A and B are shown apart, each in its own frame.
Chain A
């Protein structure tokens, strides 16, 4: 007790804010009945881990911000305090209920209005599990604030190598200077773009900086008191990421800096934000990464094959369980197979049920011979005999919206909107295949980076050319005028002749590709090419220009547009016949092609034919046809 008093007199009480809701639909349909904070991980609600972590970290006062089903959370917290859980002795927990809050930002605005927080505090997003000593982090943040009075936030990051499952679907890239001040922050989730652009000033202004990619966000942040007003002033900030992005973009206006702290040694942190991170964190918890946070020893039994089962469960001898977490009071029948799954409490699995990569909510009953792969079942779902479902979300009550399919009285399958990425939601589509694919494409990307970084002017020139040509073709303008236009753009954008050749041919080819592919296509193509004949003739004057145009063809083919197989040959044929391309140039170019490439295979018949040096042009069509 003395200690608390000392702290009180010396400085203010150490406060923390926990936002209990994710405000996303990641955990539907489980989250319909169970608030995120009470989601059980290894048979203990997430919030218990979070609170234990806070009390271990030295926090004395917690504001728990709930909006969805707050009464359940309140009950749970009251029960814990009555039971005398460890954290309840050293920490005060206040529950703040605000049903009107629709986002993380709203919660912070509400907190600002309430004026409960006066000094630095620890801000946790939902589902944080960690063993970080928070007091030392707060101390560090205060030191930073002494040097930089605009320091608003220190975000805590966990090292996590590329390819580690715990990274989840988020990809974080950030750059920090030697003081760990964040200069650049990019978090991409669903639509992983493979390119990231760093602002050049970042490198010019800082003598040294580090770019971090092997980290993940623990969703723990040490905040100065100025964070809350920032949220209040900017109504469009919905998440922490919005705030970070906003501060980085409008540095002059908002006046706030953000710092990063990367955890080292045996300090560990993570947050449950999706089923993917749920799975990896429960594994990390099992493997003691978050020591001293631990699974409830009294409730759980550890079986072989990485499986944990709760107390009072009855499992048949013939059941096969592997890499799964099973809840309390289960009934598991004969020949049941459970793999890579999470089964919550009070579930009944009858004989011959097969469950793979699925999440079964509490109280579900799954009757004989059912097979579930990659499914998420909400609370109390009942599946009739011999149901087979793959990659579905099921719940027991009728969903509000219309897109559902009724399987039985207590099982409704939610149909997803097309735009929400299913594989992203279910943790199921696993990394292995995914990763291999990525590794491959990544290396490809690197190649293309080194080949030709296209300067912006050329890009603009190219769009200009495309515009001129389409307009010319549509309005039937005289080609000489088009050449004039192209030439003037060339000087405007200061583009080399080589690039002009390349881009003009590329533009013509791309315009041709806009036409619908059908029987008429090739005739249309030849019409287009003959229309632009004066243009082509004007630019393709020597061998190097021809080579440029061939490269353009190559570029168009490799750009992955929807291209008919015969397209390359048709184009080459046409250009050869009209003497835009010389035979030797084509053959030279062909020899330099990669032997295994698609293009090589496509061009080969044509090259062979050229080599044979047949002259009869009347036979060409037949030749082509028979090839």
Chain B
């Protein structure tokens, strides 16, 4: 019984730009040069530590993280991701400083042998503000920058393609490994591995799932390395870049300005002018 449907043809490309080239980002923040965003993230993170106190990092978070994230339309994702990223270290740092701050005098609460002090609480809030500033800055960069764009931009500026490839591959490996793990789980379940039963059964299932993920990744690294070598990846000299992210005079001035401001801030802190 032959089907009646005729020959199907490939759908037309919806845009004139091929998939492997960068498309303009959806917001001005997305469209900033990747190095500008990397500089902003680095300066924000280091400045939060250098500034210390509570007000400085909080203002930094508002100006350099929350406002740009809102402008880029990623505020919700930024809050979720950066909280997830910072939560384990933030909670432990908060509790340690709250209960074990060495100069704590004013007792707030006593829980058995440990005491929460007002001084410890204040310092814990300061630490929390710094951690949130760092995680927020890193997350904003991650949410608004394609790793490939950063790699290409760095390569254009003379950074070794190897460095760029390692950075890009590290980020791209995560979704690939998640996909691989899903395939492996399906294959092992098809051989009767019970991943839906008791906790003990699930623990027994870890090795058959994690084993192929790791072994396969190692084998893949070897194959990928050889494939890269075979296509002249380690050849010395400049490469032809089909596309590079835009960069403007304003952004160059902004980057140098941010770096200068950070150097100035650190100098002021080291010399003790700002207390």
User: Does chain A bind chain B?
Assistant: no
Chain A residues engaging chain B, CB cutoff 8 angstroms: none
